[in-house]
Amino acid sequence: MREFLTIKSLHKYFGKLVALHDISFCVNPGEVVGLIGPNGAGKTTLFNVITGFYRASSGQIIFKGQDTTQFSPNKLAEMGMIRTFQIPRPFKELTVHDNVAVGTLFSPERINQTHTSTEEFIEKILKRVKLHPLKDQPAGILGHGNLKLLELGRAQGPFPELLLLDEPFAGLTISEIESVSEILQALAAGGLTLIIVEHKLRELMKLVTRVIVLHYGEKIADGIPKDVTQNEQVLKAYLGRRWSKSNAGY
């Protein structure tokens, strides 16, 4: 089988600051991977490098069997790698419907293979993210919760095969988190591969099949949620040395 997403010893420097150091991992189709780490660990930087918004300083990224290290964000989006932003960035003057429709215009092949019409596909997305009643409103009037949903909807427009979500739960209420969780579960059940950056660990752990932990730009753990939460280094990174197991009696 060809490699779906493979990261090989990725480095990213900003001047002398090491943002990412020797990151390597694989993601298989259909996996739901959580990407966690304390603030400043380099999660968003990793997202930006994978999706082409930043250039890697060294290392290699392979997506769907192709070396995409030097690819532009729009080229990657065409190939089916779509991201969302932590702070929603909608097309404010466009309607909710058009925000989703835009994506379908620039990568139409995959949609035509599976759907009879683009319009039907857009309707389906709008219903899935529960924004159907608001579809003719300009995106600028939406509140934060709905903007987060729109961010999810817009990302589905180009019919992604790999979706990178940057803190989909940030700033949401408990009930909103639940509905976003449901949407993500439905997407994962449909076979979509997800990589999720999130700080709300309890909710995240219910979703993911695997967790990767970053700390100061390095990968310190990679495994199923249960193992990772027991991991010595992870506990140290999150809670400080005092709370890790080896110092339990401190």
Partner 1 sequence: MIWRKELFTFAGVGIIFIGLALIAPISDYDYYLIGVLTSACLWVIYVVSWDLLAGYTGMLNFGQLLFAGVAAYTIALFELNYPIPRPLMMLAGLIAGIGSSLLIGLPSLRVRSVYFALVSFAMLLVFSRITLTFIWIFGGDYGLSIPRVYSREHLYFTIIILMAVTIVTMRLVVRSRIGMALQCIREDEETARAVGINVSRYKLLACLISSFFTSLAGICGFYYMGHVGPEMFGMMGSFNVVLMGVIGGTGTILGAALGGGVLAMVLEYMRPVAEYRNLLYALLLTVVVMAAPRGVWGGIVSYWNQKRRIKKGI
Residues that bind partner 1 (rule: CB under 8 A) add up to a total of: 29
Tell me if 107 contacts partner 1 by CB under 8 A. yes
The number of CA neighbours under 13 Å toward the Cβ of 84 is 31
Contact flag: residue 19 with partner 1 (CB under 8 A):
no
What is the rounded CA–CA span in Å between residue 132 and residue 76?
Answer: 28
**Per-residue x/- mask for partner 1, residues 146 to 185, rule CB under 8 A?**
--------xx-xx---------------------------
Give least dist CB 52 to partner 1, A: 8
Taking the CA atoms of 105, 107, 108 and 112 in sequence, report the sign of the dihedral they define: negative
Of residues 8 and 144, the one with the C-beta less far from partner 1: 144
Residue whose CB is less far from partner 1, 51 or 231: 51
- Residues, the chain, total? 250
Which range in 11-19, 95-103, 180-188, 235-243 contacts partner 1 by CB under 8 A?
95-103
The answer to whether the Cα torsion of 146, 129, 89, 134 is positive or negative is: negative
Q: Please identify, among the stretches 59-67, 77-85, 172-180, 203-211, the one whose residues bind partner 1 according to the rule CB under 8 A.
A: 77-85
Return the closest-CA partner of residue 62 out of 25, 89, 36: 25
Task: Report the C-alpha gap between 60 and 44 in whole angstroms.
Answer: 18
Q: Looking at 83, 148, 210, 236, which residue binds partner 1 (CB under 8 A)?
A: 83
**Amino acid identity of 250?**
Y
Residue (40 or 140) nearer to partner 1, CB: 140
Give the CA distances from residue 90 to residues 93, 156, 217, in Å, rounded to whole numbers and listed in that order: 9, 14, 29
Q: Is 102 in the site for partner 1 (CB under 8 A)?
A: yes
Separation between Cα atoms, residue 105 and residue 99, nearest integer Å: 11
What are the structure tokens assigned to 232, written together? 């010595």
**Which position among 3, 22, 78, 176 is part of the footprint of partner 1 (CB under 8 A)?**
78
Nearest CA among 3, 123, 121 for reference residue 61: 3
Q: Which of 72, 112, 230, 246 binds partner 1 (CB under 8 A)?
A: 72
Tokens (6 digits) for 86: 């932590």
Of 9, 66, 74, 246, the one binding partner 1 (CB under 8 A) is: 74
Contact 110, 139 (CB under 8 A): no
Among 40, 58, 65, 89, binds partner 1 (CB under 8 A): 89
Q: Find the binding residues for partner 1 in span 38-67 (CB under 8 A).
A: 51, 53
The residues that touch partner 1, with contacts defined as CB under 8 A, are 51, 53, 72-75, 77-78, 82-85, 89-94, 98, 101-103, 105-107, 154-155, 157-158
